[in-house]
Amino acid sequence: MTNIHGIVWVITGILIAGTSAYLGKLMAFLIIGVGFIVFGSYKMLVAYMTKPKETALNKTHEGIVSSSPQSKYCSQCGAGSHPKANFCIRCGAKL
Ligand SMILES: [Zn+2]
């Protein structure tokens, strides 16, 4: 049940509710159809709410990776230098 996508529930709900509304009877099926639509919408909302979290986590992870070269310090004198510098600006040691 958890593997079924929210849109499937919504489409099924529309079909059930639409059929019962078209026939002009079977109120129970109309309610079930609306229930399917609500459930499907909820599932899609949950999927939408959980997705940006993963993206934010990935962004944070990328941020850590990209920021790490900035903390490049000379092993000889400990001076901080430009991330793309190959030699220490203070003592000239190879980084
Ligand atoms: Zn140095």
- Summarised one tens digit per residue, pLDDT across range 16-57 is 778 877 777 777 788 888 898 898 898 888 888 887 655 555
Report how far Cα 11 is from the mean position of its chain's Cα atoms. 24
Asked if 6 and 40 count as a contact pair (C-beta separation under 8 A), the reply is yes
Q: How far is the CA of 9 from the centre of ligand 1 (A)?
A: 64
Indicate whether 91 pLDDT > 70: yes
CA dihedral 56, 60, 63, 69 (to 10 degrees): -160
Indicate whether 60 pLDDT > 70: no
Cα end-to-end span (Å), the chain: 56
pTM over 0.85? The answer is no
Q: How far is the CA of 68 from the centre of ligand 1 (A)?
A: 18
Indicate whether 71 pLDDT > 80: no
Kindly list the protein residues that place their beta carbon closer than 5 angstroms to ligand 1, a single-atom ion: 74, 76-77, 79, 88, 90-91, 93
Asked if 29 and 6 count as a contact pair (C-beta separation under 8 A), the reply is no
CA nearest neighbour of 37 among 20, 61, 60: 20
Q: How far is the CA of 87 from the centre of ligand 1 (A)?
A: 8
